Chain A
Amino acid sequence: MNDTFASIVFFASPLVFAAVGETISEKAGVVNLSMEGLVALSAVIGFMAATVTGNVIVGFLAGMGIGATMAAIVAVSSIELGLNQIAVGFILALLGVALSSFLGDPYVGREGHGVPHLAIAGLSKIPFIGPVFFNQDLMVYGSYVAAIAATFFMFRSRRGLEMQGVGERPEAAFARGIAVNRMRYVYTILGGALAGIGGAAFSLDVKLGWQNGLTQNYGWIALAIVIFGGWNPARAAIGAYVFGALQIIALKMQPHVPSLSQVLGLTPFVVMILILVVIYLPTFRRAADRHPVVRRIFAGDPPSALGTVFRRE
């Protein structure tokens, strides 16, 4: 049983990076819809870099670089050129997927590196928690750090407060002397870099190698998880684990309904989006508002200025 939970955590970790990264970007007011392509391309480039240099760290750095670059394109086209973030993000999503197939082709089937496994002394001995969370590898620990640090930064630090302000009401942030667009650049690129780590983790850790479609639909689901998490990094991480659990359930069901194994692979994506649709239906929201506990779990409004452009008159 512990193994099952441990593998949920393990397999969901790249998504944690991606969802936390996108949360940061959106919290500052920029939608980076390119996630699907960003994750695929950083998976390929990360794998290529690690294979060529023989160093897995270089692989992750390359993935970060790709993620940051794609996020920067979204940021520049929105902030400098006033282009629609959705349009640019969507184009980049398709571009990233196509590029990943093309560039990754010679690397299909090559053996990957992996990240060193490291049970954390002490913590890994805690019943249940230990084997599930603290008998993992460094990438997984990195995802905890990303989610926890992002949560603390966002909700407990001054800079994080400013970042939320920029996404919530840029004109008010500006009136308080904050350089709105500079902040948006910083957080969009930072979020892209984090998502790039997630992409690299797919090919360097979760699966040891690259194949076409390795990350298929994970970028889209990362975007959905951001909403599921109510723009809170910690809750986004939980959303990633819920998705991971759905995947494991689907996997475990396969021997029982072998005829449907292909469908089961898709069901987690379907179920995740359906959950999302349901929790945003007005009837559900009204019902949830009456129950404080439910409200706390599902609360979460998008940053008010999400997707808009700010300019000083």
Chain B
Amino acid sequence: MALELRDIHKSFGDTRANDGVTLTLESGAIHGLLGENGAGKSTLMKILSGYIGADSGEIVLDGTPLRLSAPRDAIRAGIGMLHQDPLVFLPFTALDNLLLGAPAASAKDRKGARAELGRARERFGFALDPDATVRGLTVGERQQLEITRLLWLGARILILDEPTTGISADQRTTLFEALRSLASEGMTVIFVSHKLEEVEDICADVAVMRRGRVVGTSAMPCPSDRLVQMMFGKVLVEAEPPAVEPGEVVLRLEDVTVADRGLATTDLTASVRASEVIGLAGLEGSGQRTFLRACAGLVHPEHGRILLGDRDMTGRGLEAFLAAGVHYMPAGRLEEGLVSGLTIAEHVALVTGNGRFGIDWKQATDEADRRIERFSIRGSASSPADALSGGNQQRLLLALMPPDVRLLLMEHPTRGLDIESADWVWTQLMERRRQGTAIVFASADLDELLRYSDRILVFFSGRVLRTLDARGTSGEELGALIGGKEAVA
């Protein structure tokens, strides 16, 4: 009994999400699939569950090739996937969520569903009220509901994509016990995660993905440092010496608590000085984004103070932060940074405001051309932003940055960029730093964090777990801390 993935390829535009993945998974065990964000784990699992189609490759279950043209085919083959954001219907009851999509066979009716929820309670301790609206359930409970549903539909292969993000410790214990019990009954469980500790805790073996490929497999237990090395590649970083002495304090957070879209980030205390580079490490959704958004005036603290220089900015809006020299560059380049359909020249005019009312297009185009040359953007003044490649979009965003930024807040400055572009981006940023700009950036790339930061704040579950001096820290230490393992460090 085995599931085989053979040479799976999948591209989105010019990004190769899966670049020839081959993997064999035996039944009756929990298999870990490790990798940092963007390594291609979710894409692979979505292909396996029929949710997206592969460009090429083969999936073979017990010697039979599967044709997965829609999730329906995967469900029939006994493959069920719990998505990272559980694909449940918020306004419906738990019972309706269970029923929705279940084949209209006789046993899969309301009564059967209610009974199934009862069984899940007995078997796994999933305490779900069948008539409760899912909107009122926690993420953990939504997962329990989805797992119950997938098992009810007869899943023999259960995929869980980052199941522990946003759930409580108790729920995690319950989940792990359920998974162990399922595996012992002969089920194949695929546990997708980037948390080392959890993979070490429950997986029988592990496959590590990086940049769309499986870079290694191992039986568990396996030394943490080896896993970290597989996940992040060889981390051999000589931190760049600080070119300039840090100046006065630019940003200070005093015991700040912020809630942004449901996630509370608590007890943030930090101070950043001019010409300093601060890296924010942590799993996606651990509070880094909230930290940056609070520092940009986009969300307001429920508690504590935010100061820029000596000025208390607590509760002030984005405009006040912009005026104080704060610049925020979010991760979604086309979603929150650039405007699709507007050209480079139009972007330049937007940010420079080369006239109070009118626009001098000649000047804007010339300025755009100058910046295109200076920032080596492959495109012309009349190219729309959405026609540029990811790297060139990032260059454009840098080119649009105002000259007098005191505090630069960035998310994933080099995500999705080729090495050359990434190096180039950092050359620009270091130049800014020499001019006195303080830089705070969030990244999932350990190499980047260690190479460029002076200090690193490690986030875990909405808190700063540790503040590190980047120069005294190894990749292994940082990787372990990100995974929530303080013991190794």
Q: Are A173 and B101 in contact (CB under 8 A)?
A: yes
Stretch at the interface among B91-99, B189-197, B387-395, B469-477: B91-99
Tell me if A301 is interfacial: C-beta within 8 Å of chain B. yes
Quick check: is B81 within 8 A (CB to CB) of the other chain?
A: yes
A208 within 8 A of B: no
Contact at A178–B92, with CB atoms within 8 Å? no
Most chain B CB within a 10 A radius of its CB, from A164, A172, A175: A175
Number of A-B contacts (CB under 8 A): 61
Kindly supply a per-residue 1/0 record for chain B positions 50-78, scoring 1 wherever the CB is within 8 Å of any chain A CB and 0 otherwise. 01110000000000000000111001000
Q: Which of B82-90, B219-227, B233-241, B320-328 contacts A (4 or more CB under 8 A)?
A: B82-90
Contacting pair B100 A165 (CB below 8 A): yes
> Given A161-B99, A162-B101, A165-B101 in contact, is the A177-B92 Cβ separation under 8 Å?
no
B49 within 8 A of A: yes
B351 within 8 A of A: no
Closest to B109 in A: A158
Residue of A nearest to B149 (CB): A176
* B12 within 8 Å of A (CB atoms): yes
**Told that A177-B72, A313-B12 touch, could you supply 18 new A-B pairs with CB distance under 8 A?**
A158-B104, A161-B96, A162-B101, A164-B92, A165-B89, A165-B101, A172-B88, A173-B100, A173-B101, A176-B75, A176-B101, A177-B71, A178-B72, A179-B70, A312-B51, A312-B70, A313-B52, A313-B53
- Given known pairs A171-B87, A312-B52, the reply for A177 and B70 (CB within 8 Å) is yes
Interface of B is mostly: loop
- Of the candidates B87, B92, B96, B99, the one whose C-beta lies within 8 Å of that of A175 is B87
Measured CA separation A156–B72 after assembly (Å)? 23
Question: Once bound together, how far apart are the Cα atoms of A255 and B72, in whole Å?
Answer: 64
Asked if residues A176 and B53 are in contact (CB atoms below 8 Å), the reply is: no
**Distance, CA A108 to CA B96, complexed state (A):** 51
Chain B residue at minimum C-beta to C-beta distance from A159: B104
Interface 1/0 per residue, A16-52 and B, CB below 8 Å: 0000000000000000000000000000000000000
A5 at the binding interface (Cβ < 8 Å): no
In the complex, A169 has a CB within 8 A of chain B: yes
Q: How far is the CA of A171 from the CA of B52 in the complex (A)?
A: 11
Partner of B70, one of A161, A165, A174, A304: A174
B89 engages A168 (CB within 8 Å): yes
Enumerate B402-450 residues with CB–CB distance to A below 8 Å.
none
A-B contact pairs, 16 of them (CB 8 A): A158-B104, A161-B99, A164-B92, A165-B101, A169-B89, A169-B90, A171-B87, A172-B88, A176-B87, A176-B100, A176-B101, A177-B101, A178-B101, A301-B91, A312-B51, A313-B52
Q: Quick one: closest B residue to A171, CB to CB? A: B87
Are the CB atoms of A174 and B71 closer together than 8 Å? yes
Whose C-beta in chain A lies nearest to the C-beta of B72? A177
